[in-house]
Amino acid sequence: MILLLGGTTEARTLVQVLRSQGYPVWVSVASDFARNFLPQDIPMRSGPFSAESLEAFLHTHHIRVIIDATHPFAQDIKRNARRVAQALHIPYLAYERPRVETPTSVIRVGSFLQAVEALSPYERIFLAIGSKNLVPFVNLKKKGKAIRVRVLPVSSSLKRCEDLGLQPQEIVAISGPVSTALNRILFEEFGADVVVSKESGREGGLLEKVEATVALGIPLVLIERPRSSGEVFYELGALLDRLGELYGS
């Protein structure tokens, strides 16, 4: 049995391919919202995994391989999965989005706090980073900065915004990725002089954000994804070849 940690576009594609090739698969996603984008007739669970609960799940369901197709910034589950897989001697395969080449106008930073520091020259900040890492950015309002945040249209995301004191006019709730044209409208309507995004890859809509900011002549502050370790695959074919080796052994 394979455990697929997912919820991303890559995971949805991978589920279909694994099933078509006859692999037995369990899927784990972080939230009920993510379940809506996956076939409903496969074994699936939702919610976070601690190291302990993940280890128990692996034993109960006789998992032979873990495939990690979670979001590039889902660091908690990635860290837990790597550690538990290593402890139990279960192969851990990471399936990741290829990196997107960006123009020199993009300001690359290594963390959310570095992104905050890079925003000091700007006054109207559009945050396309989701709801989980907003705290240091919301604090910029105390310095007179105007912000607008783009988050998923789900109650948990909206509650985080509300708990941080964000007002309705400071929130755009929409399920991405969205087109270059819509990104441009959102940035322009707010009067943004800078946009902040995570390095979410082409599948996460990064290219469209880059194109919109270039068209508007405003900078994009890009928070680089954490570096991965272990066996990492950027192409589906290479991942399937490795999976065949493991299942054939």
Label residue 24 by pLDDT band (50, 70, 90).
Answer: very high
Q: What is the pLDDT of residue 171?
A: 98
3-state secondary structure 123-136: CEEEEECCCCCCHH
Question: Residue 201: pLDDT above 90?
Answer: no
Q: What is the pLDDT of residue 202?
A: 80
Question: Residue 8: pLDDT above 70?
Answer: no
- Report the percentage of the chain scoring pLDDT > 90: 71
DSSP state letter for 28: E
Residue range 107-223 in CATH 3.50.50.60: no
Question: Residue 249: pLDDT above 60?
Answer: no
- Kindly state the tokens that stand for 200: 């979410």
Q: Which of 218, 214, 222 is nearest to 194 (CA)?
A: 218
Phi/psi for 229 (5° steps) reads -130, 165
The CATH code of domain 2-98+227-248 reads 3.40.50.720
Q: What is the pLDDT of residue 71?
A: 83
Looking at the chain, the domain(s) classified CATH 3.40.640.10 span 107-223
What confidence tens digit (pLDDT) does each residue in 119-166 have?
A: 999 999 999 999 999 999 999 999 999 999 999 999 999 999 999 999
Looking at the chain, the domain(s) classified CATH 3.40.50.720 span 2-98+227-248
d(CA 242, CA 237): 9
